[in-house]
Amino acid sequence: MITRIILIASLAAAVRGSQPGAPAPVAAPMRDLEWGQLNFIHTTDIHGWLGGHLQESLYSADFGDYISFTSHMRQKADEKGVDLLVIDTGDRIEGNGLYDASDPKGKYTYDIFREQTIDALCTGNHELYQEASVAREHNTTVPNFKHSYIASNLDYIEPETGNQIPQAQRYIKFKTKNLGYNVVALGFLFNFDRNANNSVVQPVEEAMKEEWFQAAIREKPDLFLVVGHVGLRMNEFEQIFKVIRDENWFTPIAFLGGHAHVRDARKFDDNAFAIASGRYFETIGWMSVDGIKKKSGNGPSTEATVSFKRRYIDNNLFGLHYHTGLNETTFPTEHGRNVTKMITEGRKALKLDNSFGCAPQDLWMSRAPYPNDNSIFSWLETQVLPTSITNEERANVSRLAIVNTGAIRFDIFKGAFTRDSTYLISPFVSKFNYIADVPYAVASKVLGLLNNGGPVFGGALDTKYLNVPEQMAPSPFLFETATANDRAYPFFVEDGATQKPLGGQAERKKDDPELVGGYTTRDDLGDDGDDAVHSPIKFYAVPNCIQAAINFPAPPPDAGSPPADPATVDLVFIDYVQPWIITALKFSGGDYSTDDIKVYTNSTLTDVIAGWVKEHWSDDC
């Protein structure tokens, strides 16, 4: 059902985001939330964006607004006599100055996040890359949510003793507040193997053989809840579903996932359904379950069919007011206002709004094809890397500089480029390494291997892990051929093109207000999941890696002759891709190992981008 905007459209202009400078949301045709007996509000892959999006009106609400929203929704659930659970599925850190700019990292974000009441949460892979963040998660977030934190396949290594202990509870059991449903909840991370040495991730298949798991799936609850930092199309959820279903033929199973940075919903069978709720606090996920039958005693599950509904809520105050039936006066709670103030004070202390440049245009990760003048990857390849990747001792040596596209996490918007912007674009601490004097005939083959994958790579070195999260385990709906109906919207490239956009289509009636570009999601339930109706935006696939050729020989005076290739080059690469580089070199005829690798520069990609912007975009906006 789409509710037409008539009188409430005029209210949008009066509603602003809670953070100073946040843009006002724009009115849109809205779809209502569909309530069931058991309802879920879900966030995932927030990556530190607790202040909301200060350059995008669609996602400009902050974490204080979210706390107000969940408070009102819990009250509505009580009034309806149904149940509501609030869930988060990891990757709460890395990707925003509010987390990354502080020393220690997360100085403000852990205290802000703990203000929310969460019924079940788990770990993401980003909590595990660095030993310091592993320790902070174990010593801060786990105690903050000691009754709801679940770590079904994650252990922590105690620094004092070296003992390997569970990061948190393997599973939890609870009874819902209003209808008294018995729930068994599990919390998994995908089979991640780039974690720091003070953590241990057990493969999901092995964890399910453990005695505790076998006991959990024999608890005979009214519903199984599986929260996980797992893409819905990845094998791990499929494995968990099959094992639970083999023991419980008809018990409803609700999966809430993440990691892939997409809005998605997947149907496993009539009684098992999954939702993923986007990225970067753009989306608040909503899932409802109806038709749950309470079990009596310890008998087997009985045949029944439940219904699942989903909605992807744009995180802005226009939508949050709409779904709660409140307005700018009645919506904010005292608790929410206090959290908004915490965010404002943290951003001010970290000077995140300080500008040191002005971007002359928008540069897109996936909203422009690559290569293209509007692609952030083309900008890096042709402008930033050639002038910024330098080792003074080898400045005159020809070099190839390789960066994986997954090292870039967000777009650049035309206008002020702030301290916060550098962390939004690339928050990682990865530096640049190199192998000296590699024969060009060998080094020149590496990029093609990294981008084309194939049997030379496998298992942990699958080249999909070099790419942006959206392309690691994509929904089948992301890569589709245009149809006649789709061409009514300028969304898909023409049939037969080598590069296809990602996404779905929107719906619009002639009496609706003009649509704003935004998510138009397709999933296993159809194309009506987004709460606000948008015009579609093109999203394009990108390669795994890009490469800049730096300080190569100049072309000869005779314009008709191509420049000569150098005999050897320094092969420079961001250190994350090192395992793939070694493998690709061996396959290309180069005999290299980690012993041949040296540090090229101690600057991170974040530092490199910031330095380039200060030099080339220094004008005030």
- pLDDT mean over 186-201: 97
pLDDT at 514: 81
Q: Can you tell me the distance from the alpha carbon of 69 to that of 383, in angstroms, rounded to the nearest whole number?
A: 43
Confidence of residue 497 (pLDDT cuts 50, 70, 90): very low
Between the CA atoms of 186, 190, 193 and 197, what dihedral angle is there, to the nearest 10 degrees? -30
Q: How many separate helices (H) and strands (E) can be counted in the chain?
A: 17, 25
| Biggest alpha carbon–alpha carbon distance for the chain | 89
3-state SS string over 278-289?
A: CCCCCEEEEEEE
Q: Are strands 30-31 and 2-3 parallel, antiparallel or unpaired?
A: antiparallel
Confidence of residue 458 (pLDDT cuts 50, 70, 90): confident
- pLDDT mean over 68-95: 98
Residue-wise pLDDT tens digits, 245-281: 999 999 999 999 999 999 999 999 999 999 999 999 9
**252 prior amide bond cis, ω within 30:** no
Q: Is the pLDDT of residue 488 over 80?
A: no
DSSP label at residue 588: T
Q: Is the pLDDT of residue 476 over 70?
A: yes
Q: Is the pLDDT of residue 442 over 50?
A: yes
Q: Can you tell me the distance from the alpha carbon of 53 to that of 278, in angstroms, rounded to the nearest whole number?
A: 14
Q: Can you tell me the distance from the alpha carbon of 291 to that of 98, in angstroms, rounded to the nearest whole number?
A: 42
Residue-wise pLDDT tens digits, 570-608: 999 999 999 999 999 999 999 999 999 999 999 999 999
Residue-wise pLDDT tens digits, 93-141: 999 999 999 999 999 999 999 999 999 999 999 999 999 999 999 999 9
Q: Is the pLDDT of residue 489 over 60?
A: no
Whole-prediction pTM value?
0.92
Residue 401's SS3 state is strand
Using the structure block, give the residue that is written with the tokens 């098992």. 272
Residues 6 or more apart in contact with residue 488 via CB below 8 angstroms: none
Residue 307's SS3 state is strand
Cβ neighbour number for residue 158 with a 10 Å cutoff: 13
Q: How far is CA 554 from the centre of its chain?
A: 42
Q: Is the pLDDT of residue 464 over 60?
A: yes
- pLDDT mean over 492-506: 36
Q: Is the pLDDT of residue 182 over 80?
A: yes
Task: Check: CB of residue 251 under 8 Å from CB of residue 225.
Answer: no
Tokens of 461: 């070195």
Confidence of residue 454 (pLDDT cuts 50, 70, 90): confident
- pLDDT mean over 541-545: 96
Exposed (0-12), middle (13-18) or buried (19+): which is 373, by Cβ within 10 Å?
Answer: exposed
Task: Check: CB of residue 595 under 8 Å from CB of residue 436.
Answer: no
